[in-house]
Structure 1
Amino acid sequence: MSLKDSQLKILLRTILNSDEPGTLAYVFHRLTGIILAGYLFLHIWTISSSTISPAAFDMKLGAFSRPLFLVLDVALLAAASFHALNGVRIIFFDTGIGIKRQKLGFILAIVLTVIIALLAAKLLVPVIFGEG
């Protein structure tokens, strides 16, 4: 086991065994930020293909309308929702609002994210299975 592996295991153990909701909120906020940045690059790459040729752009859009990508759209919406809701929670804490209710704010962000993702999934299920 290398030093890097042991450091990663210590980090994961610290995060998973933490009683502080702020730790999980921090990790989720960073992960969703990375996901959104990755999506941004993919989006720019896709849109820029429209300047190359309409056929290339249409081909990429066709690939992104497959069921797998529709499921990934729900995951992307969940990531964006959590990132935004947690960002609002952070703004409240930075202004001194709700500091003693950090756990409640985190739980609220998670619950609202799940509700948003489930609603989006419910709307997309007919499209994914070709019923809509």
Structure 2
Amino acid sequence: MKAVINRAHPLWLAHVLHRLSGLALALFLPLHFWVLSLALTDPARLDGFLALTDQTVVKLAEYGLVFLLAVHMFGGLRVMAMEFLPWTAPQKTLAAMASALSFLIATLFFLQAL
């Protein structure tokens, strides 16, 4: 018997968002560590790179990064809750609201960075 996957269910969407945020963060980390290494190996180049952070597109990227971090954190908490706690219908709504809270956190960070 084939299992039916309800792709419109909020928890399925939270699952996909958690996996995609983890993948995006894994792709970002090597670049981040490379930039940090410039502080030790080539400080002048780091200063030039950091000058780019005043651009709007970089601030938008930082917004996306903070959003991904928040989504991934709340997604991880959701997974831990699924493993250790019994789920009720209202808890499913709370899991969907975690994505909205992630968006709020990222937006507040973005507004402060402007």
TM over 0.5: yes
Distance 1:51 1:121 in 2: 28
Give the Å deviation of 1:70.
1.1
**2:11–2:92 Cα contact (<8 Å) kept:** yes
Q: Percent identity?
A: 29
Letter in 2 for 1:113: S
Of 54, 77, 92, the match for 2:66? 77
Distance 1:40 1:91 in 2: 24
Letter in 2 for 1:39: F
- 2:88 aligns to what? 100
Q: How many residues end up aligned between the 2 structures?
A: 110
Distance 1:50 1:117 in 2: 27
Give the Å deviation of 1:34.
1.3
Q: Output the TM-score relative to the length of structure 1.
A: 0.72
- 1:9 aligns to what? none
Letter in 2 for 1:35: A
- 1:36 aligns to what? 25
4+ long deviations beyond 6 Å: none
Give the Å deviation of 1:51.
2.6
Classify 1:113/1:57 alpha carbon distance in 2 versus 1 (closer, same or farther; 3 Å).
same
Of 78, 89, 113, the match for 2:102? 113
**Could you tell which deviates more after superposition, 82-91 or 110-119?**
110-119
**1:21–1:103 Cα contact (<8 Å) kept:** yes
Give the Å deviation of 1:122.
2.2
Larger radius of gyration: 1
